Chain A
Amino acid sequence: SQQGEEDPQALSIQEGENATMNCSYKTSINNLQWYRQNSGRGLVHLILIRSNEREKHSGRLRVTLDTSKKSSSLLITASRAADTASYFCAPLTQGGSEKLVFGKGTKLTVNP
């Protein structure tokens, strides 16, 4: 298993703007997952991108994956105050143990 490193650690934007968060990892992956955590709650799965995919969309979310750079990005378009949360990436190591390891996340604040 391996831990993803999210960047930046914190991001503050105005409602309506786009938010981009990045994730880097170290070894080959099977898939990479993004999760959101609202304050005082558990994590919620947002989107999973497989190693053979380069881009995936879900509503206002767009995830890209560059396996050559071992990085992924999460773009939230037209952000809303309700998007305020911490966002975590979790790379699943190819052929490795099954557990998902989470980093410290990106804390996103969307100001109304």
Chain B
Amino acid sequence: GAGVSQSPSNKVTEKGKDVELRCDPISGHTALYWYRQSLGQGLEFLIYFQGNSAPDKSGLPSDRFSAERTGGSVSTLTIQRTQQEDSAVYLCASSLDGTGRPPLHFGNGTRLTVT
């Protein structure tokens, strides 16, 4: 594909349920990032992958949040026992490497609403 693809684009879930958000990065991009953006706010860094490893998980808000990446490609962000404060747009980005020097390419995000 030409760009970063995220699915689903929208997700409505009930409080307490688990959700999985998927990110397909650009082919060949070794670095993958997850961010969260609440309404009218900036981007909050969640986690960064280099290949399948996550050198920086510092932004995960709680142990209800986890992420994995397989085959150096697709990544899944899982939120367990969702809470209303988890409602936000979750953005995924990829780049050629993890140095921060090549630009990040973003997907259009998954809008999560917890009712």
Residues of A within 8 A of B48 (CB): 98-99
Interface size on A, residues (CB 8 A): 24
Knowing A99-B33, A102-B43, the reply to whether A30 touches B91 (Cβ < 8 A) is no
Tell me which of A40, A43, A44, A101 contacts B45 (CB under 8 A): A101
Question: In the complex, are the beta carbons of B43 and A45 less than 8 A apart?
Answer: no
Q: Is B25 an interface residue (CB 8 A)?
A: no
Q: Is A97 an interface residue (CB 8 A)?
A: yes
* Number of cross-chain contacts by CB at 8 Å: 59
Knowing A42-B93, A104-B42, A105-B42, the reply to whether A98 touches B99 (Cβ < 8 A) is yes
Question: In the complex, are the beta carbons of B4 and A42 less than 8 A apart?
Answer: yes
Further contacts, 15 of them, CB under 8 A, given A31-B101, A43-B43: A30-B100, A35-B104, A40-B108, A42-B93, A45-B104, A88-B43, A98-B48, A98-B56, A99-B48, A99-B56, A99-B100, A100-B33, A100-B104, A104-B42, A105-B42
Question: Contact residues of B with A, CB < 8 Å?
Answer: 4, 31, 33, 35, 41-43, 45, 48, 56, 91, 93, 98-101, 103-109
